[in-house]
Amino acid sequence: MRRFLQSRGPINAEQALEIAAQFSPKLLAKNEFLLRKGQVCDDYFFLDHGLLRAFASDPDGNEVTTAFYPSGQTVLEVSSFFNRTPSQENIQALTDCAGWVISFAQLNALFHARPEFREFGRGVLVQGFAALKSRMLAMITNSTTERYEELLHSSPEVLQHAPIKHIATYLGVTDTSLSRIRAGAKGGGKA
């Protein structure tokens, strides 16, 4: 947990321990929801181990996976959490999960009391923003095959635990198409 806090900002060990003391441990069983659509997200959740996915429903009622959260990530629906508005998304555990949480009120109290934690909080937002931007750029410039292989390389655990259908919507293709891509991508690259 201290590693988490120190990973993104200038926080020394002592400060990290004091900040960490404000968090509560949280466990999620596989398939359990961290957040359901319509709720206001109130969990700022540091995931120690496990895997979650976020998903929304499009107008036709189809689920679209908007994110996967591997261990080491901070899991929350940013807009709902900070704006205190009902979430458009669900966040569900793909495996048993464990980590630590604090509420919006607790987070703000910590930000107020500890400038160095503010830096950390800002880093979480900035990092998430940059990751999303990079994903958007890949969506525009890379082929589906390339995006699939990049996911395979960067987060192999997702392939282990998420059904193809969810991965397909995350990549922006149908499960049919992804299945073909998997079939063709066997022998190492495009050939």
Partner DNA sequence: GTGATTTCCTGTCATTTGGCAAGCAGGTTT
Partner DNA sequence: AAACCTGCTTGCCAAATGACAGGAAATCAC
- Binding residue (CB under 8 A) for its own copies from 136, 143, 159, 176: 136
- Name the one range near its own copies by CB under 8 A: 23-31, 91-99, 133-141, 174-182: 133-141
By the rule CB under 8 A, 140 interacts with its own copies: yes
Shortest Cβ 188–its own copies spacing (Å): 18
- Taking the C-alpha atoms of residue 67 and residue 81, their distance in angstroms, rounded to an integer, is 16
Half-sphere exposure of 178 (CA within 13 A, CB side): 19
Give the one entry of DNA, its own copies, none that residue 33 binds, where binding means its C-beta sits below a cut-off of 5 to 8 angstroms depending on kind: none
- Name the one range near DNA by CB under 7 A: 20-28, 41-49, 69-77, 168-176: 168-176
Q: Which CB, 34 or 173, lies closer to its own copies?
A: 173
CA dist 98 → 70, 111, 130, 145 (Å): 11, 24, 25, 32
- Binding residue (CB under 7 A) for DNA from 164, 187, 188, 189: 164
Phi (first) and psi of residue 143, to 5 degrees: -75, 165
CA dist 125 → 9, 63, 75, 79 (Å): 13, 25, 11, 11
- Which positions from 74 through 103 interact with its own copies, judged by CB under 8 A? 78-79, 82-83
- Which DSSP string do the residues of 47-110 spell out, in sequence order? EEE-EEEEEEE-TTS-EEEEEEEETT-EE--HHHHHHT-B-S-EEEESS-EEEEEE-HHHHHHH
By the rule CB under 7 A, 174 interacts with DNA: yes
- Name the one range near DNA by CB under 7 A: 38-46, 65-73, 91-99, 140-148: 140-148
Judged by the rule CB under 7 A, the positions of this chain that interact with DNA are 143-145, 163-165, 172-183, 191
